[in-house]
């Protein structure tokens, strides 16, 4: 490439992404023996196949993360691994660009829902998929290898990320899930389960979709097509509808917190404050504090130790989706509040307009202790409340 490229590993890109952390920088290195880039647990059954990845970390203070760099802290970017401009997959993602030299590396530039972005090159390299019988299936996958990442700047604490595992399926055939599907391993289904106590798992394929209990709603086909969206929703707080209806929402696991655009945010804040004032008359007061962990925090007469200490001051939010009025997503207080390191309670719903976002985002904090399923085969999104602390299948523990 003419220079050493410290290349942060980005697994194919689409808008909904899960961040992962660790030293996954890439540098050209011809001396080391080639090693598999990553190992995945692949479980084959009569019902279907799935790939399962453990998730580490938490929303606060760490941020959810993947631990994908097994065996080495460096990804070795070799010239023969570069995808060139005349490669069909490069033509697909750069349809509006003309290339001077078809043998040049295929570059990309992408922006994500949370205002982060990446620039880099396409790379094709061998991945080893570990089967439960102990054998390895080795196959080439194309992914984006970023040499420049720009992270979103806002008022929330940030853990530096080394890459994005892109999960959006845009029909181009270059997403990780599309490539794995083409290999005949899984259906085009993605799911994740983040525990409110930290950790969780991500899966590809339909093996783990519960046979009952899942709330389903159609994916939006007309709006926000670059995102996983269930369309518009109405907002209820304390079993009372707020003066907010048909506001567009996307699910984005790259985003640690939930964002409402100004009108929705201000309406919710007003309702929450009114409820707190009413309850302060018969209980201990919650006062505004100068805690800067998040834009809006409160303190009590004593430090709070857990969300359980303050649940009586807050109630659940309920989102009712216009595509199917029976589809409701309940967000309990632990789905939009954190306890800061100062022992205060802070609101994990932020003003999206103030952070220059143009869309309402349901982030990780509101997806905790839920199995969330993005079924690209049937064009639907589903969720069910469950225990995300540990994933096991036939005695195989991933934590």
pLDDT at 331 over 80: yes
pLDDT confidence of residue 155: 44
What six digits make up the tokens of 393? 């299948």
Say how far apart CA 358 and CA 371 lie, in whole Å: 26
- What would the pLDDT profile of 50-107 be if each residue is shown by its tens digit? 778 788 888 888 766 544 333 344 566 788 889 999 898 888 877 666 777 888 999 8
pLDDT confidence of residue 214: 96
Strand-pair partners of 321 = 233
Say how far apart CA 368 and CA 194 lie, in whole Å: 5
Write down how long the chain is.
399
The order of strands in the sheet holding 287-288 is: 287-288, 297-299, 345-347, 337-339
Which positions ≥6 away from 382 have C-beta within 8 Å? 209, 214, 215, 216, 217, 372, 373, 375
Domains of the chain: 7-204 (2.40.70), 215-382 (2.40.70.10)
What six digits make up the tokens of 289? 């504090």
**pTM for the full predicted model:** 0.79
pLDDT at 24 over 50: no
């Amino acid at each position: 490439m003419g220079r050493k490229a410290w290349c942060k590993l980005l697994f194919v890109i689409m808008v909904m992404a899960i961040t992962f952390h660790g030293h996954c920088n890439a540098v050209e290195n011809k001396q080391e023996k080639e090693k598999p880039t990553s190992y995945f647990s692949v479980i084959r059954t009569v019902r279907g196949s799935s790939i399962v990845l453990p998730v580490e970390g938490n929303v606060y203070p760490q941020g959810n993360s993947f631990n994908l760099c097994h065996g080495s802290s460096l990804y070795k970017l070799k010239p023969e691994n570069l995808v060139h401009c005349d490669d069909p997959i490069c033509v697909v993602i750069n349809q509006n660009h003309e290339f001077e030299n078809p043998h040049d590396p295929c570059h990309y530039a992408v922006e994500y829902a949370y205002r982060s972005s990446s620039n880099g090159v396409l790379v094709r390299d061998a991945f080893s998929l570990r089967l439960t019988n102990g054998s390895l299936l080795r196959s080439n996958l194309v992914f984006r290898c970023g040499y420049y990442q720009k992270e979103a700047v806002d008022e929330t604490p940030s853990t530096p990320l080394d890459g994005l595992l892109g999960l959006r399926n845009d029909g181009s055939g270059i997403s990780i899930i599309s490539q794995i599907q083409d290999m005949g391993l899984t259906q085009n289904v993605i799911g994740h389960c983040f525990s409110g106590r930290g950790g969780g798992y991500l899966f590809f394929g339909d093996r783990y979709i519960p046979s009952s209990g899942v709330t389903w709603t159609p994916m939006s086909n007309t709006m926000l097509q670059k995102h996983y969206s269930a369309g518009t929703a109405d907002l209820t707080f304390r079993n009372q509808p707020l003066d907010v209806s048909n506001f567009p929402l996307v699910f984005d696991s790259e985003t640690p917190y939930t964002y409402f655009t100004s009108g929705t945010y201000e309406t919710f804040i007003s309702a929450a404050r009114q409820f707190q004032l009413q309850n302060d008359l018969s209980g201990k007061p919650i006062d505004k504090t100068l805690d800067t962990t998040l834009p809006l925090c409160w303190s009590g007469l004593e430090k709070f130790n857990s969300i359980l200490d303050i649940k009586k001051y807050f109630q659940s939010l309920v989102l009712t989706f216009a595509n199917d009025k029976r589809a409701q997503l309940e967000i309990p207080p632990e789905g939009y509040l954190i306890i800061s390191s100062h022992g205060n309670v802070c609101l994990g719903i932020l003003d999206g307009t103030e952070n220059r976002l143009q869309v309402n985002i349901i982030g990780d904090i509101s997806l905790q202790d839920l199995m969330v399923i993005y079924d690209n085969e049937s064009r639907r999104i589903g969720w069910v409340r469950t225990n995300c602390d540990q994933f096991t299948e036939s005695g195989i523990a991933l934590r």
